[in-house]
Structure 1
Amino acid sequence: MTWRSFRRDLLLLPVATAETAAMYPVAGPTETALYAVTVAALFVRRRFPVPVLVTALPVTFGGHLLIAPMVATYEVSRSVERRRTVYGWSLAFFLTSLGPWWPSLPDAWRGPDDALLFGVLSSALMTIGPTAMGQLSRARRQLADHIQELSHAHRREAELIAERAVVAERARLAREMHDVVSYQVSLMTVQAGALERTAEEPAARETASVIRGLGATALRELRGLLGVLRTTPGDAALRPRLGALPDLVAGSGLDARLEADLPALDALKWPAAVEEAAYRTVQEALTNVRKHAAGAAVTVTVGLVREGGRTALAVEITNTAAPGGGTEPSPLPSGGHGLTGLRERAEQLGGEFTAGPVREGFRVRAVLPASG
């Protein structure tokens, strides 16, 4: 029983009290006591509708105190599913409410009896009214449930249509990336491999080897991304983890070192989104160093921090200034959205992201909480 239902039930007390006070001179103490039991039983009528009506039938026979039995009849009609059961108990209430006029039944064949006719009509109205109202309430409740089910089905259908549209768009993007980007990166990797074998200068061969390695890594990540795009949004997908950071740093072609206790970090079971965000932060920072500060020394630090009572993963990439005190224009294209994307990724996880110049260099820092 909810608090709202309990408050409605409390309204029965003054109504029943007023009825008892008005009818006590003709009802007497016995019928009044039975009525008190019936009123008390009404508070559990929603859980036990039929037993409460059975409790109310004896007082109904007296024909004086009828509000509580009518409420019990209404609850049976509203709560019981089988109509035969409802109509059977309604008939029992009707026959019981005829109690005061039962002595007149043997004389009914002799001629019309106005008192008996009044009793039958009043009992019929007192039975039909609560029964009909209970059936109406039940029908309204069933209709509301049906409307809710239809609404849920329509929402689910709309979600499925949206998911199908997303899957179709992801498949289209996967085809475009495979046909355009994958081809260009593959061609770049092949050319770098050829240069590595034919170049005479060691520095050129080393540079070509780095380019070929980066191209191969890009192809692997591209294949993984294509796999993600070709799966449904709810499917699990391969994501870069913290354990891949050593290979990322070592294959960057930079003077970079990694400072992190990876076994200890892996033991904490970070969410996949946090590990991916950490990996992408390091990846983007190293890319920016190659573009804007080639030859600079880079330090990648990954560790734990405590902020606001939460455990978070702190990722910091610091590089010195480029040799010669300046930066050479990079031939690599830049969309200008890398750091913005990292900031958005960190904020979506409930973390923080900062990037800016520091003394004699540049620093990128992301704090990624274990839970948002």
Structure 2
Amino acid sequence: MRFVLLGVAMSALSLAVLNGQMGVPSGLPMPVQLTIAAATGLAAWHARRSWWPLAVLGAVAYAGLVVWPPLMLASYYAGRTLPRPRGIAAYLGACVAVCGIGAIVGEARDGLQELLTASLGNALFMMLAVIGLPVALGLWTGEVVRAARERAERLEREQVMRAEQARAQERARIAREMHDVVAHRVSLIVLHAGALEVRASDEETARAAALIGGIGREALANLRDVLGVLRSPQGPVQAELRPPPTLDDLDRLLDQSRAIGIAVTRHDEGEPRPVESTVERTAYRVVQEALTNVHKHAGDAGTQVHIRYGADALEVEVRNDAPRAPRDELPGAGWGLVGLRERVELLGGTLRTSPEDGGGFLVSARIPA
């Protein structure tokens, strides 16, 4: 909007100069004066993209008719945008040449135009007022704008650095807490399981202790990966070398649940086909979280795991029966299904969880593949 107003103002000023109200009367017909004024306004409006048309029009209008408004505005833009010092020096040299041509034209036309452009004192005054001062003003405003932009960019960089530092400190604090508390407790579980395996008097107890130790060691490995990610945004090298779980690892996960007494049955439906690794990993996590909840809340309840390969989606369904006997539930934070829903929805899928008639529970996910 401001460039529209600038164009209107330049048109009005140029028309006033052409009429002799603010300069030398041009003696041109009114239609020609209106055309020149309109062209000046259009060039001023276009200056938001390029001010060179305004400079060319200003040079011609000043040299031939002493119409100074377009050259004055072009000089301001030159001071604000041209590189220093060569660009400014080249522009001032061109303006001196324009003033020289204007002096020659003024001598040919005589009268007021000769007085303004051909006499040395008036010529220097016009050069200072129309060219020198606008260039100086453009230089000053350009420096102010440039300094303000640099200050804003510096403040933005500092803000980003402070935010990154705060995030890094918080991640390090969480990593320390997880290492000092969770890793320590899981390490004790692994040690006790190993001791029980060695001292067990029967084979069944030894197998159960070995299973607990293996699960604990796997949990410690996963925990090390998580701690590495927390301490470094790029993640540890070990996490990059160890492939994330996919559906190929699902049988091993189910065997771990079977080993502690849960009857888990897997059903694959449809034609198995390769899908994206993120989809397989998410499907694995759905089954893992569902089985974890069975361990916590349903104990020895029978569980059915369905993997369905659809035309455009991979569907995962985990349905468990009611527990056969009441048992003490293990403590939980209550965030497992919330995080699982976020993971599925990030891939454009949907997650449905609901209690079943008879005391069972259903976890069903549909993931676009």
TM beyond 0.5: yes
Distance in 2 (alpha carbons) for counterparts of 1:262 and 1:242: 18
Moved more, 70-79 or 157-166: 70-79
Distance in 2 (alpha carbons) for counterparts of 1:104 and 1:9: 30
- Verify: 1:148 aligned to 2:149, yes or no: yes
Distance in 1 (alpha carbons) for counterparts of 2:48 and 2:206: 85
For residue 174 of structure 1, what is the aligned residue in structure 2?
175
Distance in 2 (alpha carbons) for counterparts of 1:262 and 1:144: 65
- Verify: 1:257 aligned to 2:261, yes or no: no
For residue 127 of structure 1, what is the aligned residue in structure 2?
127
For residue 199 of structure 1, what is the aligned residue in structure 2?
200
| Counterpart contact for 1:104–1:116, Cα < 8 Å | no
For residue 288 of structure 2, what is the aligned residue in structure 1?
283
Partner SS, residue 359 of structure 1: coil
For residue 352 of structure 2, what is the aligned residue in structure 1?
354
For residue 111 of structure 1, what is the aligned residue in structure 2?
none
Matches within 5 A, 1:48-87: 53=55, 56-81=58-83, 82-87=87-92
Distance in 2 (alpha carbons) for counterparts of 1:4 and 1:171: 51
| Counterpart contact for 2:196–2:206, Cα < 8 Å | yes
> Cα distance 1:229–1:78, how it changes in 2: closer, same or farther (>3 A)?
closer
Equivalent pairs, count? 349
For 1:357, the aligned partner's letter is P
For residue 223 of structure 2, what is the aligned residue in structure 1?
222
| Counterpart contact for 2:73–2:134, Cα < 8 Å | no
Partner SS, residue 340 of structure 2: helix
Structure 1 residues 186-243: Cα deviation after superposition (integer angstroms, max 9, x where no partner): 3322332343454344543443333223222212212222222221368895573424
| Counterpart contact for 1:97–1:123, Cα < 8 Å | no
Distance in 2 (alpha carbons) for counterparts of 1:261 and 1:147: 64
Distance in 1 (alpha carbons) for counterparts of 2:34 and 2:336: 82
Aligned mate of 1:301, from 290, 295, 306 = 306
Shift in Å at residue 362 of structure 1? 0.6
For residue 240 of structure 1, what is the aligned residue in structure 2?
244
Structure 1 residues 171-196: Cα deviation after superposition (integer angstroms, max 9, x where no partner): 34334433443233233223323434
Distance in 2 (alpha carbons) for counterparts of 1:89 and 1:229: 62
Distance in 2 (alpha carbons) for counterparts of 1:93 and 1:153: 42
Distance in 2 (alpha carbons) for counterparts of 1:74 and 1:262: 73
Aligned mate of 2:276, from 269, 285, 291 = 269
Shift in Å at residue 333 of structure 1? 3.1
For 2:129, the aligned partner's letter is G
> Cα distance 1:240–1:178, how it changes in 2: closer, same or farther (>3 A)?
same
Partner SS, residue 221 of structure 2: helix
Distance in 1 (alpha carbons) for counterparts of 2:167 and 2:77: 50
Distance in 2 (alpha carbons) for counterparts of 1:13 and 1:235: 66
For 1:327, the aligned partner's letter is P
For residue 89 of structure 1, what is the aligned residue in structure 2?
94
For 2:174, the aligned partner's letter is L
Shift in Å at residue 317 of structure 1? 1.6
Shift in Å at residue 327 of structure 1? 3.0
> Cα distance 1:341–1:224, how it changes in 2: closer, same or farther (>3 A)?
same
Distance in 2 (alpha carbons) for counterparts of 1:234 and 1:262: 37
| Counterpart contact for 1:20–1:65, Cα < 8 Å | yes
Distance in 2 (alpha carbons) for counterparts of 1:47 and 1:341: 50
Partner SS, residue 268 of structure 1: coil
Distance in 2 (alpha carbons) for counterparts of 1:197 and 1:80: 83
Distance in 2 (alpha carbons) for counterparts of 1:61 and 1:10: 23
Distance in 2 (alpha carbons) for counterparts of 1:234 and 1:142: 43
For residue 337 of structure 1, what is the aligned residue in structure 2?
335
| Counterpart contact for 1:49–1:79, Cα < 8 Å | no
For residue 326 of structure 2, what is the aligned residue in structure 1?
327
| Counterpart contact for 2:51–2:77, Cα < 8 Å | yes
Shift in Å at residue 121 of structure 1? 5.5
Identity %: 31
Distance in 1 (alpha carbons) for counterparts of 2:291 and 2:157: 44
- Verify: 1:157 aligned to 2:158, yes or no: yes
Shift in Å at residue 7 of structure 1? 7.5
Q: How much is the aligned-residue C-alpha RMSD, in angstroms?
A: 4.4
Distance in 2 (alpha carbons) for counterparts of 1:155 and 1:334: 41
Partner SS, residue 252 of structure 1: helix
Shift in Å at residue 19 of structure 1? 5.0
Distance in 2 (alpha carbons) for counterparts of 1:189 and 1:262: 40
Distance in 2 (alpha carbons) for counterparts of 1:261 and 1:46: 64
